[in-house]
Amino acid sequence: MIKSSFLDSLEGLKRADLWLFLGWHDVKQRYRRSTLGPLWITLATLLFVGAMTLVYSALFRQDIRSFLPLAACGIVVWTFIAGCISEGCNLFITASTTIKQVPAPLTVHAFRLIWTQLIYFLHNLIVVFIALGATGIFFSLETLLFFPAIALLTLNLAWMALFLGVMSARFRDMPLIVQSLITGLFMATPVLWQISYLPPERQWIAYLNPFTYLVEIVRLPLIGIAPSFNIWAVVLAMAAIGWALALLTYGRARTRLAYWV
């Protein structure tokens, strides 16, 4: 079953011209009639990062110059993660007309979503550059680790979207459950803080949370630090186990999805 759903995913990947096109189309369509276009995404993130930095650097009694790059990178990475997860739930539900009209591998819809969110993420990266530039953190060799890190993060988000998409198509309260968990997850994940902010006896919260590793693996290279071996190992293992789970779920549901949506 894993094999057949793996082959199906490959078929989906092969239709890259379709989902790359549709992903761009989604972004363009959302901002078609506004002057700033997709830069609205950047602007919204910029305002959010600004407000969070002003408030939370004071709350945590941190130097604003060390806090700003941390918060900017954290929020931008988190926005990507949260976008893929919450939109991932509606993956097949929103595509229901397409699914019933056009024969195409269903994984196309998952890749389309990830690509759309990746485009938003790239827009938001401007905010990261502004924050890094403002605080005088410039390019170093460690920054190059950003590329394998973002690839690994995307790989992880893709299986999450596929898994949640299938589960939500079958169980319609799934999106609501996920939605209510995601805010709590934001607080429990080092997005606006670092593990070192916690007293040692509380740090287990961060270490047990898989999203800690997903955020840190991308955030650390951006601020010029190489992620530790443990972070790479955890994220790689998550990708392997997660994809097995997602392919198994998708394999069981693949032939029935069209009836569910």
Partner 1 sequence: MAYVEARDLGVQYPVLTSSARSLKNTILSRTTGGRIAGNKAHFIQIRALDHLNFRFHPGDRVALIGHNGSGKSTLLRVLAGIYHPTAGTIQVSGRVAALFDSAFGMDIDATGYENIILRAKYLGIPRSEINRQIEEIADFTDLGEFLQMPIRTYSAGMTARLAFAISTSVNADILLIDEGVGAGDAAFMAKANKRLQELIDRSPIVVFASHDQKTVRDFCTRGLVLQSGNLIYDGPVEEAYAQYDTIVGAALR
Measured in degrees and rounded to the nearest 5, phi and psi for residue 240 equal -65, -50
Residue 153 CB partners (closer than 8 Å, separation 6+): 77, 80, 81, 214, 217, 218, 235
Cβ(45)–Cβ(124) under 8 Å?
yes
Q: Which is nearer to partner 1, 6 or 260 (CB)?
A: 260
Q: Which is nearer to partner 1, 173 or 201 (CB)?
A: 173
For the CB of residue 170, give the shortest distance to partner 1 in the complex, in Å. 7
Would you tell me which residues interact with partner 1 (CB under 8 A)? 15, 17-18, 21-22, 25, 29, 32-33, 97-104, 167, 170-174, 177, 254-256, 258-260
Q: Which is nearer to partner 1, 15 or 232 (CB)?
A: 15
For the CB of residue 158, give the shortest distance to partner 1 in the complex, in Å. 21
For the CB of residue 108, give the shortest distance to partner 1 in the complex, in Å. 9
The Cα–Cα gap between 61 and 69 comes to 15
Q: Which is nearer to partner 1, 22 or 70 (CB)?
A: 22
The Cα–Cα gap between 243 and 124 comes to 27
Written as six digits, the tokens of 118 are 């990746």
For the CB of residue 78, give the shortest distance to partner 1 in the complex, in Å. 25
Written as six digits, the tokens of 34 are 């506004």
